[in-house]
């Protein structure tokens, strides 16, 4: 009986580690293969397309939307329209089948996070998503753990940027002094009051 109990405990431990210690669970480094080839490096980086063009509504919605394939055709009806990748995208759209993107950034179901609240108070996209404008395939670059959220909520001025630079992946403060000035100014002017109470995120 003891041997069976030990073997069972070991199996549970191995299964737990196998699941909870993989990148897909911890997410850091997770880079899934998407059904359609799309390079953020080209579109957001080289072409400088604003994040809000595809992820529209992020300033009003608690959630960041994933664009429909038809949005791509606003440009690609004319640009590279004969490219085999675009032809395949057109065929998919015309068939009526939605593009089933694989979600990269995911909070647990028991965590409430409001995108609009954060971006409208100076939290830049790169704070949570990393330098997406340098990624061919989007990777989960930061842990988004409870510890990282609490660190930001305890000292929000360290993560804030001018409101007109929230969607600028290349903006960097000149140094700690500028970051402190920008952060403290936004905290004061916008009346930012962060909370570390459990009910803030766990509702």
Q: In this structure, is residue 138 part of a structural domain?
A: yes
The residue-averaged pLDDT of 97-104 equals 85
How many Cβ atoms sit within 10 Å of the Cβ of residue 132?
19
In the chain, the percentage of residues whose pLDDT exceeds 70 is 95
Residue 174 CA to its chain's centroid (Å): 25
Q: Which pLDDT tens digit goes with each residue over 186-202?
A: 999 989 989 999 999 99
Q: In this structure, is residue 71 part of a structural domain?
A: no
Phi-psi region of 131 (alpha: psi -120 to 50; beta: other; left: phi over 0): beta
Report the pLDDT value the prediction gives residue 91, as an integer from 0 to 100.
85
CA distance 184 to 203: 29
Cβ-contact 43, 72 below 8 angstroms: no
Q: In this structure, is residue 22 part of a structural domain?
A: no
Q: In this structure, is residue 92 part of a structural domain?
A: no
Q: In this structure, is residue 125 part of a structural domain?
A: yes
Q: How many domains does the chain have?
A: 1
Q: Hey, is 104 helix, strand or coil? A: coil
Report the pLDDT value the prediction gives residue 86, as an integer from 0 to 100.
86
Task: Give me 99's structure tokens.
Answer: 């593009």
Cβ-contact 138, 55 below 8 angstroms: no
* Domain of residue 184, residue span: 39-49+56-66+107-203
Q: How far separated are the first and last CA of the chain, in Å rounded?
A: 43
Residue 123 phi, psi (nearest 5):
-85, 115
Q: Hey, is 160 helix, strand or coil? A: strand
Q: In this structure, is residue 29 part of a structural domain?
A: no
| Model pTM score | 0.79
Q: In this structure, is residue 13 part of a structural domain?
A: no
CA distance 166 to 85: 31
């Amino acid at each position: 009986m003891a041997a069976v109990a030990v073997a069972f405990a070991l199996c549970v431990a191995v299964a737990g580690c196998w699941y909870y210690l993989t990148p897909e669970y911890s997410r850091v480094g997770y880079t899934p293969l998407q059904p359609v080839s799309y390079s953020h490096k080209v579109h957001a980086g080289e072409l400088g397309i604003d994040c809000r063009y595809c992820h529209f509504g992020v300033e009003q919605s608690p959630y960041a939307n994933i664009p429909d394939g038809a949005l791509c055709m606003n440009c690609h009806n004319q640009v590279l329209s004969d490219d085999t990748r675009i032809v395949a995208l057109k065929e998919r759209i015309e068939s009526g089948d939605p593009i089933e993107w694989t979600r990269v950034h995911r909070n647990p179901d028991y965590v409430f996070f409001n995108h609009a609240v954060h971006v409208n108070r100076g939290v830049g996209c790169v704070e949570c998503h990393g330098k997406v404008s340098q990624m061919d395939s989007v990777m989960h670059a930061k842990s988004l753990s409870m510890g990282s959220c609490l660190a930001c909520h305890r000292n929000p001025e360290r993560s804030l940027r001018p409101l007109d630079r929230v969607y600028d992946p290349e903006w960097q403060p000149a140094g700690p002094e500028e970051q402190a000035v920008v952060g403290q100014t936004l905290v004061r002017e916008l009346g930012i009051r962060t909370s570390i109470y459990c009910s803030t995120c766990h509702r």
